[in-house]
Amino acid sequence: MRQRIFLLFTLFFLTFGITTSCSLGTQTSNVQVSPLVSSPLTTQPRDDDDKASTLRIWWAQGLIPEENAVITKLVSDWEKTSGIDADISLMQDINIKGEVEKALTQGNPPDILLTFTGDYNLYPRLAWDGQLADVSAVLEPIKNAYVPAALESVRYRNNVAKNRSYYGVPIGQQELHVIFWRDLIEEANLTVEDIPKEWEGFWAVWKQAQDNLRAKGKKDIYGLGMTVSDIGTDNFWQFEHILEAFNVKIVNEQGDLIIDSPQAKQGIVNTLRLLSDIQKKGYNPPEAIRWGDPTNNFGFLSRQVIMTQNPTVSIPLSQKLPNNIYNKNSRDRYFNKIVTTQFPNKPDGTPMVYLASIRQVVMFAASKNQEAGQKFLNYLVKPENLDIFLKEANKGRIFPVLKDQLNEPFWNDPEDPHLSAAAVQYRQPSRLLPLVNNPAYSQVPAQQVWGKALLRIIRDNISPELAAAEAIAEIKAIFTAWK
Instruction: Give the integer Cα–Cα distance in Å for 373 and 353.
Output: 35
Q: How many CA atoms lie within 13 A of 237 on its CB side?
A: 24
Is 223 found in the same domain as 157?
A: no
- Which of 45-49, 390-394, 401-405, 410-414 shows the lowest per-residue confidence on average (mean pLDDT)? 45-49
* H-only helix segments in 129-168: 136-139, 148-153
Mean pLDDT of 285-309: 96
The answer to whether 86 touches 376, Cβ cutoff 8 Å, is yes
Residues in CB range of 171: below 8 A, 6 or more apart: 114, 359, 360, 361, 380, 381, 386, 389, 401
pLDDT of 28 above 60:
no
Q: Is residue 438 part of a domain?
A: no
Count of residues in the chain? 483
pLDDT of 39 above 90:
no
For 110-181, where are the E strands, in sequence order? 112-114, 155-158, 163-166, 169-174, 177-181
What tens digit of pLDDT does each residue of 65-87 get?
A: 899 999 999 999 999 999 999 99
Q: Is residue 440 part of a domain?
A: no
Mean pLDDT of the chain: 89
Domain hosting residue 192, numbered range: 177-354+447-482
Is 459 found in the same domain as 337?
A: yes
Is 43 found in the same domain as 15?
A: yes
Helix (H) or strand (E) holding 82: helix 65-82
Task: List 47's β-bridge partners, or say none.
Answer: none
How many distinct structural domains can be found in the chain? 2
Is 333 found in the same domain as 227?
A: yes
Instruction: Give the integer Cα–Cα distance in Å for 280 and 467.
Output: 15
Mean pLDDT of 289-303: 94
3-state DSSP call for residue 144? helix
Residues in CB range of 458: below 8 A, 6 or more apart: 228, 276, 279, 280, 289
Q: What is the pLDDT of residue 121?
A: 85
The answer to whether 40 touches 103, Cβ cutoff 8 Å, is no
The answer to whether 26 touches 65, Cβ cutoff 8 Å, is no
**Which CATH number characterizes residue 142's domain?**
3.40.190.10
Is 133 found in the same domain as 12?
A: yes
Mean pLDDT of 282-304: 96
Is 313 found in the same domain as 456?
A: yes
3-state DSSP call for residue 90? strand
Is 342 found in the same domain as 392?
A: no
What whole-number percentage of the chain has pLDDT above 90? Answer: 83
Q: Is residue 442 part of a domain?
A: no
- Centre a 10 Å sphere on the Cβ of residue 335 and count the other Cβ atoms it contains: 15
The answer to whether 197 touches 349, Cβ cutoff 8 Å, is no
Mean pLDDT of 443-470: 97
Is 161 found in the same domain as 67?
A: yes
Helix (H) or strand (E) holding 357: strand 357-363
Determine the residue type at 76. Answer: S
Q: What is the pLDDT of residue 52?
A: 59
Mean pLDDT of 90-111: 94
Q: What does 4-73 look like in DSSP terms, one character per residue? A: EE-----HHHHHTT------S----BS-----SS-PPPP-PPPGGGG-TTEEEEEEEPPSSHHHHHHHHH
Is 158 found in the same domain as 10?
A: yes
The answer to whether 137 touches 83, Cβ cutoff 8 Å, is no
The answer to whether 470 touches 456, Cβ cutoff 8 Å, is yes
3-state DSSP call for residue 157? strand
